Structure 1
Amino acid sequence: MDEQKQPLTSHLKELRKRLILSFIAVVTGFIVCYAFSQDLFDILSKPLLKMMPSGSSLIFTSVAEAFFTYMKVAFIAGIILTSPFVLFQVWAFVAPGLYRNEKRYVIPFVAAGSFFFVLGILFAYFVAIPVGFKFLLGYATDFIKPMPSMKEYLSFSIKFLLAFGLVFEFPVVLVLLARIGVVDAKTMARHRKYAILLIFIFAAVMTPPDIISQLLMAIPLMGLYELSIILSRIFGKKKKVDPPPSE
């Protein structure tokens, strides 16, 4: 085997090894989480049930809906549970090809990204979802009763949680762009009004069509944008100052 093919083959073997390990980890996580899938779904459904009339419950409208809902819950929880191991496998595969200065930035940004993602999910679970449901369920009357199904609620809540988790990555992305010199704090501050307009458009697309849900996403996003400006001033790429010409 010639010298050019050997490195490619070894990379493919390494990739195969990391993928197999990640797959085994996710399957193991799924099996473990399936044993607690009902408890996990109960935790997930608490924000909705607290806003519904006393004695209310979720329903399932097909014979297999409850089974497949618990399967999905276990699969999602399994991915979350094993994500540190999977990320380590990604790092183990990518790290040998990175320069030392690149490695120095990866870990802080991955840690910050994980922190803000979890923060976004917690904000959605404890603030956005309860307030949003309270508003939406306010349309119920004596003749119109809410009867959400397990499948519908799981789909809605997971999308909502993921949307807020990704939205809270906003500062990490902007600081990264500032660090490599694509944007800077002054530019972001100067174009603040356009950013706010885009934030409200984004919130309108990502949330249910009611003003409360849109505000619940737009207001934190505006705060995160301001935080991004501050962090970009601190961690952004510093412009080199040319020395004064010698006389």
Structure 2
Amino acid sequence: MTKKDENLVHHLEDLRKVLLISFAAIFVGTIICYSLFLDQVIEIVVGPLNKLGQDLVFLGVTEGLFTKIKMSIFGGVIISSPVIIWQMLRFIFPALYSHEKKVFVPVFFLGIILFISGIVFGYKLVLDLSLKILIINFSEGLSPMISVSKYVSFVISFLLPFGIIFEIPLITFFLTKLGLISAKFLREKRKYVILIMFVLAAVLSPGPDVLAQLFLAIPMIVLYEISIIISALIGRKKQKKDLSE
């Protein structure tokens, strides 16, 4: 086996450990959520619908149980997000120089803050408005009978993408550090990336709500512009270092 093959096997083994630990953390987080915080999670998830005076129904004997498990998994992902982010950073950081690894802890906390901020942004600013438009404005003359399982699936698939897209600046940081992208590259590809972002917003949005798609696309565009600034700052710092050397 060549040195290149050995390195590939080593990286795949590290990735396997990252995935196993991450899934184990989600499993533990799910149990903790189901045992201790399920009522609070249900109250948070159902809250926006209750504000509209709507009740949920279940259509199958096991739907209530599986919906609670689904909400527990969602809560488990949020609880275990520090572990998942830690594992991902641990997998990426060996590719950086020793002096660059000093930012591990700040980047770790920034990753958590960005993920939670994305979910809070989606929940506080977008979900309420989207539900009002979909249920009240677009369903005039109809009597809603909303399945608890479909509603919870809608909320989860609605909020998680916000948590993920808020990590764009962090991803840009690492890709720039690794020399895979630059601010110039990001500027040149801006129009194509914006188009892709709108397509992703349409795919990730759990319904035909154009407003929700816009609210998902606009943060991605803003975060992309912030990423260009971050990449430019890193590039200038690297250039100054090269000149001094």
Bucket of the pairwise TM-score, normalised by the shorter protein:
0.7 to 0.9
In structure 2, distance between residues paired with 1:94 and 1:211: 36
Question: Contact 1:38 / 1:70 at 8 angstroms: preserved in 2?
Answer: no
CA shift for structure 1 position 29 = 4.0
Compare 64-73 and 82-91 and name the one that shifted more: 82-91
* Residues 117-126 or 89-98, more deviating: 89-98
Q: TM-score, normalised by structure 2?
A: 0.75
Q: How does 1:124-203 map to 2 (within 5 A)?
A: 124-137=122-135, 138-142=137-141, 144-203=142-201
Q: Provide the rounded CA distance (Å) in 1 between the counterparts of 2:129 and 2:180.
A: 37
Percent of paired sites with the same residue:
39
Which position in structure 2 is the counterpart of 1:34?
34
Letter in structure 2 aligned against 1:39: Q
Partner of 2:7: none
RMSD: 3.4
Match of 1:5 in 2: none
Map of 1:74 onto structure 2: 72
Matches of 2:143 and 2:132, distance apart in 1? 14
The amino acid of 2:171's aligned partner reads: V
Q: Distance in 2 between matches of 1:96 and 1:221?
A: 28
Distance 1:181 1:132, change over 3 A: same
How far does residue 48 in structure 1 lie from its aligned partner after superposition? 2.6
Q: How big is each residue's C-alpha offset from its partner over 1:156-190, in whole Å with a ceiling of 9 and x where there is no partner?
A: 11111111111111111122212222222233223
TM norm structure 1: 0.75
Superposed displacement of residue 112, structure 1:
2.3
Residue number in structure 2 paired with 1:238: 238
Cα distance, 1:219 vs. partner?
1.0
Q: Which runs of 5+ in 1 are unaligned?
A: 1-11
**Distance in 1, Cα, partners of 2:215 & 2:47:** 19
Q: State how far apart, in whole Å, the 1-side matches of 2:50 and 2:223 are.
A: 30
Task: Point out the structure with the larger helix share.
Answer: 2
Q: What SS does the corresponding residue of 2:57 show, helix, strand or coil?
A: coil
C-alpha contact 1:37 1:73 (8 A) present in aligned 2: yes
Equivalence map 1:71-110=2 (5 Å): 71-84=69-82, 100-101=98-99, 103-110=101-108
Query: Deviations for 1:177-234, whole angstroms, at most 9, x for unmatched residues?
Result: 1222222223322332222222212212211223212111111111111111112222
Kept in 2, the 8 Å contact 1:113–1:169? The answer is yes
Query: Over alpha carbons, which structure has the higher Rg?
Result: 1
In the alignment, structure 1 residue 221 sits paired with structure 2 residue 220: yes
Q: Post-superposition shift, 1:28?
A: 5.2
The more displaced of 91-100 and 31-40 is: 91-100
Report the equivalent of 1:117. Answer: 115
Mean CA deviation greater in 122-131 or 202-211: 202-211
3-state SS, counterpart of residue 56 of structure 2: coil
Residues 1:91 and 1:184: Cα distance change in structure 2 (over 3 Å): closer
